């Protein structure tokens, strides 16, 4: 559903965002508030409203009717604000400790008012600064195992699932992923953005018909496997992490019913992109995260399956194993597409873009392209996260 702006829609400013918070009764009218636009993502405005006296803050997130990173030439449905608040509320039913609280949402203004998580740091930034976040992958594994099982066809009555599939139909944002993750980087497309020093490697990808066909198959899985409500954009920039064991998954505006392996693949890809930015002797925590996220996901998903699956074959030997096997294969392939697009596509990651000197940045991006292709091509042979790590390390050696 494309939702364009109505007469009630107006883009918030720092002062109108603060006024909205007061109007909603979230702060007393006499409060002295500060408000700052802090959004550094690709799509939305994000305001932090803070009352110094009460030492209380909150976040007002507003969708704008275009992709902020590109500008008004790329119109985008405001419906993503409804999708995001509905997904957060649904996720909170199963993992309330791993998502921000939603205080208010307004579909016409495309606004969601959220818990202020300013005491935490975006995981991507922390990882780039050398933090290891020992609890990160266990928390994300639990988030994925629970949210993915309890919104899946294995746990839901078919009519409920059908209703949810409709509620979370998200064509504009799925279209972004179809183009920017699965299509454009595999062709000489105008959205691609890379250093001239990567041209030969990019052209190798565009000429590699077998690889392009595998990417097309993965796109088809993304589009047609309505398995569960996925987050849809689970890179390390969509996660807040703390020094203590505290993790919050934010920004599920790309949520829709898609393949279970997609979020796992994107998370693993972004861990490995960070690993590429580090020297080998600092990569072990990232390798551990890759293993832990899969192991925790599959343990949590399996426990939920044992307790609550409605599947007629739930106890037949091999049934759950086949679901997990397909999920792992998909995750590896999706990870490969994500790694490639972050090196030559439109939306980069700071992990690679801040590597110095420039010559190392280029060599690590070339490795990213090799690793991404290996993950896509070899995904059906991967059985465990160790196979992924081995493929990653082999590419570094060759
Ligand atoms: C036009 S949006 C570019 C990227 O930002 C989002 O976070 C998604 O990853 C999307 O692909
Ligand atoms: Mg985002």
C-alpha dist (Å) from residue 318 to 57, 61, 155, 298: 49, 44, 18, 14
Residue 243 assigned ligand-binding role: no
Burial letters 309-320, b for 16+ CB under 10 A, else e: beeeeeeeeeeb
Cα 111 to ligand 2 centroid, rounded to whole Å: 15
Q: What is the pLDDT of residues 65-85, one digit of tens each?
A: 999 888 899 999 999 999 999
Give the pair of three-digit tokens for residue 139: 């928390």
Q: What is the pLDDT of residues 132-177, one digit of tens each?
A: 999 999 999 999 999 999 999 999 999 999 999 999 999 999 999 9
State the pLDDT at residue 3.
61
* CB-based contact 175:169 (threshold 8 Å): no
DSSP structure string for 117-140: -TTSEEHHHHHHTT---TTHHHHH
- Overall size of the chain counted in residues: 398
* Helical (H) or strand (E) element with 121: strand 121-122
- Measured by CA distance, the residue closest to atom 5 of ligand 1 is 42
Q: What is the pLDDT of residues 183-230, one digit of tens each?
A: 999 999 999 999 999 999 999 999 999 999 999 999 999 999 999 999
Cα 15 to ligand 2 centroid, rounded to whole Å: 24
**Relative to the alpha carbon of 175, which ligand is closest?**
1
Residue 285 assigned ligand-binding role: no
* CB-based contact 148:301 (threshold 8 Å): yes
């Amino acid at each position: 559903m494309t939702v364009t702006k109505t007469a009630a829609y107006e883009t918030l400013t720092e002062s109108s965002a603060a006024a909205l918070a007061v109007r909603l009764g979230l702060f007393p009218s006499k409060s002295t508030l500060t408000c700052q636009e802090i959004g550094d993502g690709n799509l939305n405005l994000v305001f932090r409203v803070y009352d110094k006296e009460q030492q209380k803050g909150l976040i007002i997130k507003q969708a704008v009717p275009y992709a902020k990173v590109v500008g008004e030439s790329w119109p985008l449905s405001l419906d993503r604000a409804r999708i995001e608040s509905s997904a957060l509320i649904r996720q909170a039913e199963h993992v309330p400790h791993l998502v921000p609280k939603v205080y208010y949402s307004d579909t016409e203004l495309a606004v969601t008012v959220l818990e202020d998580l300013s005491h935490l740091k975006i995981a991507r930034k922390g990882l780039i600064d050398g933090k290891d976040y020992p609890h990160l992958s266990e928390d994300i594994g639990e988030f994925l195992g629970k949210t993915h099982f309890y919104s899946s066809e294995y746990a839901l009555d078919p009519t409920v699932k059908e209703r949810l599939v409709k509620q979370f139909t998200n064509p504009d944002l799925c279209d972004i992923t179809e183009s920017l993750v699965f299509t454009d980087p595999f062709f000489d497309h105008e959205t691609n953005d890379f250093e001239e020093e990567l041209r030969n490697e990019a052209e190798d990808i565009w000429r590699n018909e077998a690889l392009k066909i595998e990417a097309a198959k993965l796109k088809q899985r993304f589009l047609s496997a309505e398995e569960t409500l996925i987050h849809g954009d689970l890179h390390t920039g969509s996660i807040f992490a703390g020094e203590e064991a505290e993790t919050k998954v934010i920004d599920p505006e790309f949520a829709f019913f898609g393949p279970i392996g997609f979020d796992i693949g994107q998370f693993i890809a972004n861990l490995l992109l960070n690993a590429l930015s580090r020297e080998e002797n600092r990569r072990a925590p990232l390798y551990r995260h890759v293993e832990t996220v899969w192991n925790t996901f599959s343990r949590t998903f399996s426990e939920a399956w044992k307790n609550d699956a409605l599947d007629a074959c739930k106890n037949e030997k091999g049934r759950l194993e086949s679901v997990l096997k397909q999920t792992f294969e998909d995750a590896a392939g999706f990870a490969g597409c994500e790694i490639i697009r972050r090196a030559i596509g439109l939306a980069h990651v700071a992990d690679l873009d801040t590597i110095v000197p420039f010559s190392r940045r280029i060599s690590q991006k070339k490795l990213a392209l090799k690793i991404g292709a290996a993950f896509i091509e070899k995904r059906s042979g991967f059985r465990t996260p160790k196979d992924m790590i081995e493929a990653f390390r082999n590419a570094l050696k060759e």
